[in-house]
Amino acid sequence: MLVVGGGVTGAGIARDAALRGLRVALVDAGDFGGGTSSRSSRLVHGGLRYLETFQFRLVFEASAERRRLLKLAPHLIHPLEFVFPVFRRGPVSLPKLLAGMWLYDGLSLFGNIRSHRMLGPAGTLAEEPRLRREGLTGAAVYFDAAVDDARLALANVRAAHEAGAATVSHAEVAAFLTGPSGKVEGARIRDRRTGTETEVRARVTVNATGPWSDAVRRLAQPSAAPRLRPTKGVHIMVRADRLGNRHAVTFLSPIDGRVMFVLPQGDFSYVGTTDTDFTGDPGTAEADAKDVDYLVASANAIYPDANLTTGDVVSTWAGIRPLLAPPRGAGSESATPREHEIWRDASGLLNIAGGKLTTYRVMALQAADRAAEILRAEHGIQSRPSTTDLLPLPGAPTEPWDAFLARVTADAQTLGLSAGTAMHLARSYGAEADALLAAIRADPGLGRQLVDGRPYVWAEVDHAVRAEMAVSLEDILRRRMQLFYETEDGGRAIARAVAERMATEPGLNWTADDVAREVAVYDAAVERTRGFRR
């Protein structure tokens, strides 16, 4: 099997298939998780807002997956408490929200992290003192979960590799290969960094490229009719004290009534998301001034004393949702179903699109099931059943999370590392934090912070190249770490020093020209995400 697309779904398919005993190759034109899978709302959630559009099956499935993923990747996925305030004359009343909360808990078979509770105005302000007071009638408190989306995709790639799959990033499909019947039988893959091309023959080829799905389908079959309705989701990052939210907050934008979030992330909060139709290359999607103004105005409506301006925005990210076009009429972007679909084109290419981050494992399982059926029916190849519902992802600690975190924190403090760095290492690397601490113990210089005030240390640069398949500066500073988003300059002040350290790694062996090129490419990427300021 050849899987094209190393986002979380494609990585999940490759992992599932490799664990079944199939020979698998996974390729991505950029970094693993470099597209939509690292530009989401960073939530594993049941999808409270989908109740309004009666997508009950999706909520039920997502709630079950949330419960499962909390067990399989406790280092990457953590419970998150939400406050959903209600205001007089708003589109949602307190009785309606209460009914929705009971339905939300019921669709999780009352197996959510904790059951919801309802608050009056005083109780709501006790939880979130800086919320708008005018017209406040109360709130619901409920639980979902936060996730490091880029690392979730990477964990699935690594799990696929450990199960025997060949996993190659920055490798694009130059052309599909066909057999005597004219059906796809693999692809010619081009290494985007060297230009080298390799033929990969496969009995079944899966297109899991998300918002690039239609473009990839046309490579195999130029007449293929489009199936997607891509929409753009933008988030803005601000310093946490500018909004002062104590929890995650769900609210309705006063501009268009869209369900939005203010979400905590350490020293920062981020606000999202937009939902607008998008045309063009998904790789060029960025936040523009209109997107940022909309999110700033929406946040100010719920936190009126914040008086946010675009100058408060530290960074932005924009992802393209690969939604399936509805069969009848366009409707609003937000109302477009989030269900996924698996289908096979006349070219023989097997495709998967739609869905959401939370349900990636189920989507991957179903796509691998379909591929296994094709292999069995057309080639007589047998494979084992899926086991991904039981196997933890790489890095999942074997001890309870609280005990694990306490141990890592104690070990980190003996090395002079801050509590923030200890928490970061535990949450980003899980059980592999021990290897990073061992490297720092052997060379204390590796425990130095890359940037003052941020938790990232130099040991992570080496680890990203040697153990996490990072081959570009952006791979490390944008997705293995978050300096790209968490610094005003996007990490440009440290970029050259990181590139020079990467250059010495045997697998890279960059020249001075390579280092300069990496820095220039990185500078341009940072500038694009701050382009709204112009």
* Average pLDDT over every residue of 517-521: 98
Q: Give the CA diameter of the chain.
A: 72
pLDDT at residue number 150: 98
pLDDT at residue number 112: 84
What digits encode the pLDDT tens for the residues 390-401?
999 999 999 999
Average pLDDT, the chain: 95
Determine the Cα–Cα distance for residues 66 and 333; give it in Å rounded to an integer: 25
Determine the Cα–Cα distance for residues 93 and 86; give it in Å rounded to an integer: 6
Determine the Cα–Cα distance for residues 441 and 443; give it in Å rounded to an integer: 6
Q: What is the pTM of this model?
A: 0.96
pLDDT at residue number 507: 86
User: Do 368 and 431 sit in the same domain of this protein?
Assistant: no
Q: Is residue 9 part of a domain?
A: yes
Q: Is residue 143 part of a domain?
A: yes
Determine the Cα–Cα distance for residues 309 and 77; give it in Å rounded to an integer: 31
User: Do 124 and 165 sit in the same domain of this protein?
Assistant: no
User: Do 421 and 282 sit in the same domain of this protein?
Assistant: no
- Over 80: is that where the pLDDT of 468 sits? yes
Q: Is residue 417 part of a domain?
A: yes
- State which H helix or E strand residue 342 sits in: strand 340-344
Give the E-state strand segments of 89-165 in sequence order: 117-119, 136-147
The token pair at 180 is 């005597």
Of 295, 324, 353, the position where a domain reaches its end is: 324
Of 289, 324, 359, the position where a domain reaches its end is: 324
Q: What is the dihedral of CA 339, 222, 192, 172, to 10 degrees?
A: 40
The token pair at 234 is 């933008």
pLDDT at residue number 335: 58
Q: pLDDT class for 217, splitting at 50, 70, 90?
A: very high
* Average pLDDT over every residue of 151-179: 98
User: Do 172 and 96 sit in the same domain of this protein?
Assistant: no
pLDDT at residue number 113: 83
Of 315, 348, 379, the position where a domain reaches its end is: 379
- Over 60: is that where the pLDDT of 179 sits? yes
Q: Are 245 and 130 in contact (CB under 8 A)?
A: yes
- Over 80: is that where the pLDDT of 329 sits? no
Interhelix angle 401-414/419-429, nearest 10 degrees: 130
Determine the Cα–Cα distance for residues 140 and 83; give it in Å rounded to an integer: 6
pLDDT at residue number 332: 63
What digits encode the pLDDT tens for the residues 330-348?
566 665 667 899 999 999 9
* Average pLDDT over every residue of 447-454: 97
Q: Is residue 49 part of a domain?
A: no
Q: pLDDT class for 102, splitting at 50, 70, 90?
A: very high
How many domains does the chain contain in total?
Answer: 3
What digits encode the pLDDT tens for the residues 112-142?
888 999 999 999 999 999 999 999 999 999 9
213 versus 54: which is more confidently predicted? 213
User: Do 244 and 167 sit in the same domain of this protein?
Assistant: no
Instruction: Tell me which residue range forms the domain holding 427.
Output: 401-533
What digits encode the pLDDT tens for the residues 276-289?
999 999 999 999 99
Q: Is residue 452 part of a domain?
A: yes
User: Do 440 and 298 sit in the same domain of this protein?
Assistant: no
Give the E-state strand segments of 347-393 in sequence order: 350-354
Sheet containing strand 197-201, edge to edge, reads 171-178, 184-191, 197-201
User: Do 155 and 138 sit in the same domain of this protein?
Assistant: no
Q: pLDDT class for 207, splitting at 50, 70, 90?
A: very high
Q: Is residue 157 part of a domain?
A: yes
What digits encode the pLDDT tens for the residues 346-364?
999 999 999 999 999 999 9
User: Do 143 and 268 sit in the same domain of this protein?
Assistant: yes
Q: Are 282 and 30 in contact (CB under 8 A)?
A: no
Q: Is residue 60 part of a domain?
A: no
The token pair at 358 is 């939370």
User: What 8-state DSSP symbol labels residue 194?
Assistant: T
CATH of residue 450: 1.10.8
Q: Are 128 and 136 in contact (CB under 8 A)?
A: no
Q: Is residue 44 part of a domain?
A: no
Instruction: Tell which residue, 10, 38, 6, 36, has the closest CA to residue 478.
Output: 38
Inter-CA distances, 108 with 45, 144, 365, Å: 11, 11, 20
Residue type, 489: D
pLDDT at residue number 125: 98
pLDDT at residue number 377: 97
CATH of residue 123: 3.30.9.10
User: Do 138 and 243 sit in the same domain of this protein?
Assistant: yes
User: Do 437 and 311 sit in the same domain of this protein?
Assistant: no
User: Do 138 and 255 sit in the same domain of this protein?
Assistant: yes
User: Do 528 and 452 sit in the same domain of this protein?
Assistant: yes
